[in-house]
């Protein structure tokens, strides 16, 4: 199952993470503080105080402090870098690489607050600050990656380590740091470096504009319903929609917001076809409305600049440059995987559409299935084929109980316990945020804190994601982890249970998998927390599998009114329908992944983005009954930053690993809770982060490379011969 997760937007943060040695996610990570703390009075730069090794002062942060904190933090970090590069002692790992690893702590703290304002509490005022800061952060990034004296010191350490390898953690760090600088123009001549920096600066502004345009369209396209337009919708959804409408000044109406969490259930259950079309159109037209918030020209400019930048480095295209340090290594390898799955996916879509059309015809609906009909009629097919009603399943999927279930799984697999902290003891940035203390059950040691921000709100970006405020390292003493999961569930009316779909529950587990990956890290240096993009989704996708285990179903999936466990016959129906609608979920995802790759392989000169999208989909024989999961004008994974650019395929690459590893658990004597295999998974798949090559880590777990066969079996597709 592919979900809208872990988008890693925030071009500014991604740029900063490159030079701050961040965790490879949206956010740079916290590292041990500098030897001499900053004397700044700006709260956002100050060292964290309080329990659990210090925590961010989220309850005291002010928007007016953001700009000053980032600018002062940049100055402080550049001073750190200047001291390292100007060192007259011969370059060593300790005085160069280790010094870089511990530099910039104040700026990292500031970026944690910036990230909250960007993703969870955005506002028009913040977006103006963001626009102003983006080019300045790009200049700061270039000042480090193009510091010739610094790079020569890095190069000296790197070459010495090639001749006489260091200990494993140090060897891995120097290789990653050297590669990072090399890939970002450190070997260019001065004139090319100047142009490279100018391109990065321009791109940073474009990424910010892209993100803000998408957020504008999410916030400003709301469909208001009257009472006679609620056919098919559940009571809980209706109550939530009424509250959202009232919050938007439309008392007595019902609001469908322009986010997936609101759109998806409406398209699944609403009997109002014209309104389904309107809601569908609003959602899939984000960034593509021909107004000042339209993203098509921004995308064209981004693609041109990305191509020009990598050509300065001698690469033919952006994909070739980007994938060299990923598991796939080349665009050809990534395309080979996608092309192997695509025919089976669209073939399954044809079967699904035929089933839906048959039901529509039987009902005398006199329609031809259109994209805004897919979810609605798929639900009817699910009921007809498997006697499975998604709304019935939702009665057993309470968010609070799912949270308990995730904690149970973490206890069984990772030996962690989760206990809510005393209210008010840990600052939070919004009243909806809850915090748990994470403890090792054997030693009683604090592992860290888990923050949960579950509800949608104005100013919060859509989707679901995980991030950290501080990551685990040991090189300046052990640090505990501050990790956060963020969702966009529609907040229930007061006193009502929050019921979610099976897909939403799966996404909830997925994001928690990222958190467990953070908590279980056992690395020495901050750089070793940097994820390999087509690998870091694997651990979270793997954790999704525990939602359907008997232990979770029997103990936590209980009816929200009666408290009775989910009936065995309903469980059987869910499992029997395990491959249902895989054509839809695989095709909508793959279309986006293929589009991402083809856009970056195409000649960007005079590229008409809208026309390219249409032409490419036609060449792929994209079924007309469904859209890409992320249409190009709002494809934030790819165009609000660079984390997933030419790397959206990574979800499927990771899913090959997931399916293969899941079969190992299914075959283990203790099944999904087999203690020996769980310990092996934690040791090799979760704890190392990027301390060892991901392919080698997987082989240590499985004894061989992953095979695509398991993925195809998972989706009910034919397994390729040979």
Quick check: 17 pLDDT over 70?
no
Helices within 363-473 (DSSP H only): 374-386, 390-394, 399-414
| Domain-embedded: residue 640 | no
The pLDDT value recorded for residue 531 is: 84
One domain, residues 37 and 186: yes
* Class of residue 220 by CB neighbours under 10 A (exposed 0-12, middle 13-18, buried 19+): exposed
One domain, residues 42 and 56: yes
Domain span holding position 127: 11-216
Average pLDDT over residues 576-589: 95
One domain, residues 201 and 257: no
Q: How far is it, in rounded angstroms, from Cα 142 to Cα 345?
A: 43
CATH of the domain at 106: 1.10.1370.40
Average pLDDT over residues 650-660: 96
Average pLDDT over residues 615-639: 97
pLDDT class for 643, splitting at 50, 70, 90? Answer: confident
- CA-wise closest residue to 653 among 422, 328, 276: 328
pLDDT in tens, 502-531: 999 999 999 999 999 999 999 999 999 998
Quick check: 102 pLDDT over 90?
yes
pLDDT in tens, 188-243: 999 999 999 999 999 999 999 999 999 999 999 999 999 999 999 999 899 999 99
Quick check: 559 pLDDT over 60?
yes
| Domain-embedded: residue 395 | no
The pLDDT value recorded for residue 705 is: 95
One domain, residues 121 and 164: yes
The pLDDT value recorded for residue 16 is: 55
One domain, residues 167 and 264: no
| Domain-embedded: residue 577 | no
Share of the chain above pLDDT 90, in %: 91
pLDDT in tens, 277-288: 999 999 999 999
- The one-character DSSP state at 449 is E
Quick check: 544 pLDDT over 80?
yes
The pLDDT value recorded for residue 307 is: 98
Average pLDDT over residues 464-490: 96
| Domain-embedded: residue 241 | yes
| Domain-embedded: residue 394 | no
Q: How far is it, in rounded angstroms, from Cα 564 to Cα 693?
A: 46
One domain, residues 117 and 46: yes
Our count of domains for the chain comes to 2
One domain, residues 194 and 143: yes
The pLDDT value recorded for residue 348 is: 97
**162, 181, 216 — which closes off a domain?**
216
Quick check: 636 pLDDT over 70?
yes
The pLDDT value recorded for residue 18 is: 53
**230, 256, 284 — which closes off a domain?**
284
Mean pLDDT of the chain, nearest integer: 93
Residues 6+ away with beta carbon under 8 Å from 484: 450, 451, 452, 453, 466, 467, 468, 469, 515
One domain, residues 114 and 247: no
One domain, residues 272 and 234: yes
One domain, residues 236 and 195: no
One domain, residues 212 and 229: no
The pLDDT value recorded for residue 74 is: 97
Task: Tell me the CA distances in angstroms from 541 to 210, 517, 560, 642, 653, one per residue in order.
Answer: 28, 11, 27, 22, 11
| Domain-embedded: residue 30 | yes
- CA-wise closest residue to 129 among 142, 143, 118: 118
| Domain-embedded: residue 110 | yes
Task: Report the chain's terminal Cα–Cα distance, integer Å.
Answer: 25
pLDDT in tens, 667-695: 999 999 999 999 999 999 999 999 999 99
**164, 186, 216 — which closes off a domain?**
216
One domain, residues 243 and 196: no
| Domain-embedded: residue 400 | no
The pLDDT value recorded for residue 11 is: 47
């Amino acid at each position: 199952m592919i979900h809208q997760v872990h988008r890693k937007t925030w071009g500014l943060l991604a740029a900063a993470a490159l030079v701050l040695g961040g965790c490879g996610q949206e956010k740079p990570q916290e590292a041990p503080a500098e030897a001499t703390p900053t004397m700044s009075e700006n709260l956002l730069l100050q060292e964290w105080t309080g329990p659990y090794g210090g925590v961010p002062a989220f309850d005291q942060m002010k928007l007016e402090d953001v700009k000053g904190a980032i600018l002062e933090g940049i100055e402080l970090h550049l001073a750190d870098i200047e001291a390292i590069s100007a060192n007259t002692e011969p370059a060593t790992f300790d005085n160069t690489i280790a010094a870089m690893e511990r530099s910039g702590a104040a700026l990292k703290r500031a970026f944690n607050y910036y990230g909250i304002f960007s993703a969870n509490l955005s506002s028009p005022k913040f977006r103006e600050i963001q626009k102003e800061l983006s080019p300045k952060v790009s200049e700061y990034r270039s000042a480090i990656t193009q510091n010739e004296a610094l790079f020569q010191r890095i190069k000296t350490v790197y070459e010495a380590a090639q001749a006489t390898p260091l200990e494993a953690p140090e060897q891995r760090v120097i290789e990653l740091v050297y590669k990072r600088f090399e890939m970002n123009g450190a070997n260019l001549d001065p004139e090319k470096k100047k142009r490279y920096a100018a391109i990065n600066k321009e791109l940073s502004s474009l990424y910010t504009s892209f993100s803000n345009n998408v957020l504008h369209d999410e916030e400003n396209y709301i469909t208001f319903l009257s009472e006679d337009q609620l056919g098919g919708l559940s009571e809980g959804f209706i109550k939530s929609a009424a509250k959202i409408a009232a919050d938007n000044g439309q008392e007595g109406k019902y609001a469908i917001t322009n986010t997936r969490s609101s759109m998806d259930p409406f398209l699944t259950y609403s009997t109002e076809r014209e309104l389904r079309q309107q809601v569908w159109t609003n959602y899939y037209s984000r960034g593509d409305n021909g107004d000042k918030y339209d993203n098509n020209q921004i995308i064209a400019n981004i693609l041109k600049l990305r191509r020009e930048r990598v050509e300065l480095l001698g690469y033919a295209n952006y994909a070739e440059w980007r994938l060299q340090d990923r598991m796939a290594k080349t665009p050809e390898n990534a395309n080979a995987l996608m092309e192997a799955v695509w025919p089976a996916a669209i073939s399954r879509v044809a079967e699904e559409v035929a089933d839906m059309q048959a039901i529509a015809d039987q009902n005398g609906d006199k329609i031809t299935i259109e994209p805004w009909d897919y979810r609605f009629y798929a639900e009817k097919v699910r009921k007809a084929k498997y006697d499975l009603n998604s709304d019935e399943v939702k009665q057993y999927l309470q968010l609070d109980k799912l949270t308990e279930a995730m904690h149970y799984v973490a206890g069984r697999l990772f030996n962690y316990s989760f206990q809510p902290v005393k209210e008010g003891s840990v600052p939070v940035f919004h009243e909806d945020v809850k915090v748990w203390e994470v403890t090792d059950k054997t030693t009683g040691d604090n592992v860290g804190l888990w923050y949960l921000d579950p509800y949608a709100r104005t100013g919060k970006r859509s989707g679901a994601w995980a991030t950290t405020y501080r990551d685990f390292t040991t090189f300046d003493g052990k640090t505990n982890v501050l990790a956060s999961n963020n969702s966009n569930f529609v907040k229930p009316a007061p006193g009502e249970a929050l019921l979610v779909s099976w897909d939403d529950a799966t996404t909830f587990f997925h994001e928690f998998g990222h958190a467990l990956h953070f908590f279980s890290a056992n690395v020495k240096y901050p750089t070793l927390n940097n994820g390999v993009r087509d690998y870091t989704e694997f651990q979270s996708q793997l954790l999704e599998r525990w939602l359907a285990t008997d232990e979770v179903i029997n103990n936590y999936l209980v009816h929200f009114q009666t408290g009775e466990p989910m009936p065995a016959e309903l469980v059987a129906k869910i499992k029997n329908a395990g491959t249902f609608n895989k054509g839809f979920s695989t095709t909508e995802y793959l279309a986006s992944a293929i589009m991402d790759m083809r856009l970056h392989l195409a000649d960007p000169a005079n590229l008409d983005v809208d026309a390219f999208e249409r032409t490419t989909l036609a060449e792929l024989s994209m079924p007309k009954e469904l859209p890409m999961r992320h249409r190009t004008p709002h494809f934030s994974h790819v165009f609000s930053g660079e984390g997933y650019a030419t790397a959206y395929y990574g979800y499927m690459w990771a899913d090959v690993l997931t399916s293969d590893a899941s079969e190992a658990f299914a075959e283990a004597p203790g099944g999904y809770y087999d203690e020996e295999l769980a310990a092996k998974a934690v040791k090799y798949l979760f704890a190392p982060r990027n301390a060892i090559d991901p392919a080698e880590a997987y082989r240590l777990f499985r004894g061989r490379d992953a095979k695509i066969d398991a993925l195809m079996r998972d989706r009910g597709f034919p397994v390729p011969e040979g």
